[in-house]
A and B are shown apart, each in its own frame.
Chain A
Amino acid sequence: MFEYEKYIRKNKFPLVWCSGCGDGIVLKALLRAIDSIGLEKENVCMVSGIGCSSRLTGYVDCNTLHTTHGRAITFATGIKMAKPELNVIVITGDGDATAIGGNHYIHAARRNIDLTVIIFNNFIYGMTGGQVSPTTPVGMLASTAPFGNMENTFNISGLAQAAGASFVARGTVYHTVMLEKLIKKAILKNGFSVVEVLSPCPTAFGRRNKSGTIIDMMNEQKDNCVTSARAERMSERELEGKTVIGELVNIDRPECSKQYRKLIERCRSGL
């Protein structure tokens, strides 16, 4: 057993999420990752935006900030720059991070500020009733795409990589043990780190699209995902229709808050 109680605000339970929602699985992986690193709760700051996943911050016993739609990364940037000793973790969703907050997402990656961004990708706006999101697959139904989504989608991880993130990984709620390891690596990485978690929504996405139960949706993850290590040895044709999970990017680049501290040092020494 793992002592989750050490890290949760028990009086806020049960969780607000629907039956079968994977967001709780991600929360647990996150808490185990924090524990295995040995972070002190006082030094962890979790910042979320708006949406199902963003309700997570209310449940964790640390410094928690539930902000406005799309802006979690901006608040987190202020926190990290003002107090770099805090471990700042951003909790966000596909709509929050890549639609309304898309500009902040790419710019935080560009500046390579040491935030860990966990994006719960459920391919839909769950909390508001299933509207189409930037990751809703083409052809899939949403309340605002009643004839099927006809727009191209964002590749959340690819976006972070292209914008300059230090660490990018993709996990699923089925591959829970791997997810914990990816989150741990992301927190430990000094730089902008993204973990995109595929967390299917059985309610707003699943029912409308006849994707079956959460079990069917998780089985689909089990059958359809290949690890990045394995994907390297596969041809483009073999990878067609597959989802690559695991570590996707891990590079070292100068980190924004550290660079700024160096500037303060430079000013202090009069250089």
Chain B
Amino acid sequence: MAGKSNVKIHIKTEWCKGCVICVEYCPTDVLAMRNGKAYVKDITKCTACELCEIRCPDFAITVLYDKSEK
């Protein structure tokens, strides 16, 4: 699946507790773990589905994109 061009994922590492929920449930394998925290491995695959954002229990993930493009 092609990703969106203008999407950004912001991860607030100080709030991330490394639960891995975002990584596991990302349908396009955008996220991964490093030093116990989530990070953006490959933003080009991101479809801005926002599943990582709504499932992050710690308010650590924000998905930013231009909604008009969706």
Contact = CB atoms under 8 A, between A and B. Distances in A.
Interface of A: 1-2, 4, 8, 13-15, 17-25, 28-29, 32, 173, 176-177, 180, 213-215, 218
Contacts of B64: 1
A13 B15 CA distance: 7
B20 interface: yes
Contacts of A214: 19-21
A19 B36 CA distance: 11
B6 to A, nearest CB: 13
Interface of B: 14-15, 17-21, 24-25, 50-51, 53-59, 62-65
A24 B58 contact: yes
Contacts, number: 64
Given A14-B17, A215-B24, A23 B63 contact: no
A173 B54 CA distance: 10
A144 B50 CA distance: 40
B63 A1 contact: yes
Contact of A19 (B19, B25, B50, B65): B19
Contacts of B25: 218
Nearest to A179: B54
Contact of A25 (B50, B55, B62): B55
Contact of A215 (B21, B53, B54): B21
Contact of B59 (A8, A176, A177): A8
B64 to A, nearest CB: 6
